[in-house]
Structure 1
Amino acid sequence: MEKGLNKSNFSTRQMVTTAMLAAISIFLGLSGLGFIKIPPVNATIMHIPVIIGSIIEGPIVGGLIGLCFGLFSMYQAFTAPTPTSFVFWNPIVALLPRILIGVISYYAFVGIKKTVKINAKASGMAVIAFLSIMIALALKIFFPIYVSCIIAAAVFVVLTFLFIKYKLSEKSEVLSIGTASLLGTLTNTVLVLTLIYVFYVDRFAKAINVNPTLAGKAIVTIGMTNGIPEALISTIIVVPVVMAILKIRK
């Protein structure tokens, strides 16, 4: 009896978490708070509830929140269209990447956490190197390449120092949550832009006033200018939020 009751409570918790985080994602879109202006791009944080839900409750919950996010994207594309909204009229483009945010985030979280336990030092240094490279690529958008590389190198040195001094490698949750957040965000960006290229490359090029022969490069540029800042912002927000939730549950 007790086992069945616990299972029921867990299912109820999952449903409540799904509804709550889906509502937050939609609220961010409706209110405009889900968009952060980082000239010359607008970064979105509407995918963050999807990542949080997948990490704390699993891939099914994450996928359902992602589905709600995708359905809202379709609704917004029909009710408040922009020159490029037509791409989200297609359910494959609007829904599939958003559902996979939750799936990829969860399995990245679990996989990195297991890897960190096996070889904490190597895993920690690999994540620090990955973050430094991501920072260099993001800064390259706004600064000359040598400036972005210098800043990224400084970040690498500082993080490595902290890693060694305070033994951050023991905090497997920090590394796994951060990596899951990065990969979840990039899953959305890469898949959406890839599907746009597959289904609508010529029409999309015309909508953004780009020569169709240069559409591929334009899409890659959009991915760089939007995806990388979004991934970094997502990580900054998701890590402390999920850490707090996990700490409360313990």
Structure 2
Amino acid sequence: GPAAGAILGGVFGITSIIINTFSPTVTSFVFSPFYSIGEYSGNMYSLIIALVPRILIGIVSAYTFQAIAKKDKTKLAAYSIAGLLGSLTNTILVMGGIYLFFGQSYAAAKEIGYETLFRFIMGVVAVNGIPEAIVAALITVAIGKVIRPVFHQYSN
């Protein structure tokens, strides 16, 4: 459900903070308030970017699944749309948060002009985010069809 999804998403977010703190890249400051490189520094907004979208993956996916599963006997549409929307939630909120909270610094770190940053981010969403969402939809169906009967068996 949504609570379990939020907890798993929180673990994903915390893992992201840890990785970007201890094994950083040039743009790790957007995911870790503990990382700085040159003039680019993470801050409390880094926590928002690292945690909120990831927590919302589980919440959005759970509510989407619950709403669609009521009318979807096979659950195929419920799994796929939940996976798709969960993935898009993460991509859009992370990239939107980067633009909103770290636009100037992120553009400089990526060595692109700030005036082109919005197009760059839309390119990332189109080239990476949409295919990721499609793959997430397919994987969610495959995993859900295998795992749900097991959980259902132990919950009775």
| Fold match (TM-score > 0.5) | yes
| Distance in structure 2 (CA, Å) of the matches to 1:72 and 1:224 | 25
Please give the root-mean-square deviation of Cα atoms over the aligned residues, in Å.
1.2
- Determine if the alignment matches structure 1 residue 101 to structure 2 residue 43: no
Unaligned 5+ runs, structure 2 = 33-45
Matched residue type, 1:92: I
Q: 2:17 aligns with which of 74, 86, 103?
A: 74
For structure 1, the 5+ residue unaligned runs are 1-57, 118-169
- Aligned mates of 2:140, 2:82 — CA distance in 1: 9
What pairs up with 1:15-34 in 2 under 5 angstroms?
none
Aligned to 2:47: 91
Q: If the length of structure 2 is used for normalisation, what is the TM-score?
A: 0.84
Distance 1:227 1:213 in 2: 21
Alignment partner of 1:63 is 2:63? no
What secondary structure is seen at the aligned counterpart in 1 of 2:85?
helix
Shift of 1:239: 0.7
Count of residue correspondences: 139
Determine which structure has more spread, i.e. the larger CA radius of gyration.
1
CA offset digits 1:189-229 (Å, max 9, x no partner): 00001111110011111111111111111111111111111
TM-score in terms of structure 1 length: 0.54
List 4+ stretches of structure 1 deviating above 3 A.
none
Please, which of 170, 181, 199 is the counterpart of residue 101 of structure 2?
A: 199
Aligned residue runs from structure 1 range 52-201, under 5 A: 58-89=1-32, 90-114=46-70, 116=71, 170-171=73-74, 173-201=75-103
Q: CA deviation at 1:235?
A: 1.7
How far apart are residue 70 of structure 1 and its match? 0.4
Seq. identity, %: 38
Q: CA deviation at 1:103?
A: 0.3
Deviations 1:14-51 (A, max 9, x none): xxxxxxxxxxxxxxxxxxxxxxxxxxxxxxxxxxxxxx
